[in-house]
């Protein structure tokens, strides 16, 4: 592995998608700055990346706090120029379906703070570091609910629609400044313990028979790597991915 003098920040470096993204960018030579709420849970990821010869700095990070986001990204950038920021919070959870009358204002606000507001902060603070340098990549993880407000998903879809708007506005403003802003839409369930459990509960064991209907976290990481590799003459803003057997 050839080390790069560059950092990739992964905000929302959870057990599945986020961890795979971190591993992929570490494997490509970036120093990864990985943040998640409960920093202690990043330990296995750190061990795995370091065992493969990769570099990672793990941090507890509450992405809803402006000063924490700013500090996290500044620290990354001090370590080595911040070249990539991937915002990945609230990506692999389609939350529980809430009828509108049971959606409390507390839930509505909290989902927005986690999945939209913190994305705005991460995007803006990355841009602040990247614009003067005239290059960079800011990627956001979206979901089916980024495009469709399904029954029972008012809170989650509202936050994901809102995040998509942030990404789109930033892409239009920052593209001409040589910063690639992209929005990856994962149009399927992701293969995590949580999703497996829930599918089994809803539809029985057979729902798990076909592994090809769930998106492996490593495939998401590979999609981000494809976005990163695009030349600036042919950038994609929105990349939608789904497993071959998914109904859409």
Residues numbered 150-169 forming contacts with a second copy, rule: CB under 8 A: 150-155, 157-169
CB of 38 to a second copy, least distance (A): 23
Q: Build a one-symbol-per-residue string for 213-242: x at contacts with a second copy by CB under 8 A, - elsewhere.
A: --xx--xx-xx--x--xxxxxxxxxxxxxx
Tokens 């609230």 sit on residue: 90
Q: Build a one-symbol-per-residue string for 6-45: x at contacts with a second copy by CB under 8 A, - elsewhere.
A: ----------------------------------------
Stretch that binds a second copy, among 13-21, 33-41, 75-83, 96-104 (CB under 8 A): 96-104
Q: Residue 190 has what DSSP assignment?
A: B
Does 194 contact a second copy by CB under 8 A? no
What is the rounded CA–CA span in Å between residue 245 and residue 97? 24
For strands 7-11 and 82-87, give the pairing: parallel
194/225 with CB nearer a second copy:
225
Q: Build a one-symbol-per-residue string for 105-134: x at contacts with a second copy by CB under 8 A, - elsewhere.
A: x--xx--x---xx--xx-xx--xx--x---
Distances (CA, A) of 19 to 90, 175, 192: 14, 27, 12
Q: Which of 2, 40, 51, 99 binds a second copy (CB under 8 A)?
A: 99
Q: Residue 204: in which H helix or E strand, if any?
A: none
Mention every residue, 6+ apart, whose C-beta is less than 8 A from residue 235. 175, 180, 182
Does 199 contact a second copy by CB under 8 A? no
**136 three-class SS:** strand
């Amino acid at each position: 592995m050839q080390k790069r003098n560059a950092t990739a920040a992964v905000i929302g470096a959870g057990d599945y998608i986020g961890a795979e993204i971190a591993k992929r960018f570490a494997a490509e030579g970036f120093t990864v700055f990985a943040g998640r709420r409960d920093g202690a849970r990043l330990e296995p990821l750190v061990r795995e990346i370091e065992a493969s010869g990769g570099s990672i700095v793990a941090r507890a990070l509450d992405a809803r706090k402006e000063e924490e986001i700013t500090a996290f990204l500044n620290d990354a950038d001090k370590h080595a120029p911040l070249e990539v920021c991937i915002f990945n919070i609230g990506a692999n959870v389609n939350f529980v379906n809430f009828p509108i009358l049971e959606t409390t204002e507390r839930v509505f606000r909290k989902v927005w703070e986690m999945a939209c507001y913190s994305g705005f902060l991460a995007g803006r603070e990355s841009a602040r570091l990247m614009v003067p340098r005239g290059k960079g990549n800011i990627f956001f993880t979206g979901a089916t609910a980024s495009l469709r407000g399904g029954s029972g998903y008012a809170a989650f879809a509202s936050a994901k629609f809102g995040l998509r708007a942030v990404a789109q506005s930033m892409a239009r403003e920052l593209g001409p400044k040589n910063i690639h802003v992209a929005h990856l839409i994962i149009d399927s369930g992701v293969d995590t313990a949580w999703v497996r459990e829930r599918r089994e509960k809803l539809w029985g064991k057979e729902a798990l028979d076909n592994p090809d209907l769930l998106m492996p976290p490593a495939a998401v990481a590979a999609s981000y790597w494809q976005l990163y590799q695009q030349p600036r003459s042919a950038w994609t803003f929105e990349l939608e991915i789904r497993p071959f057997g998914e109904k859409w």
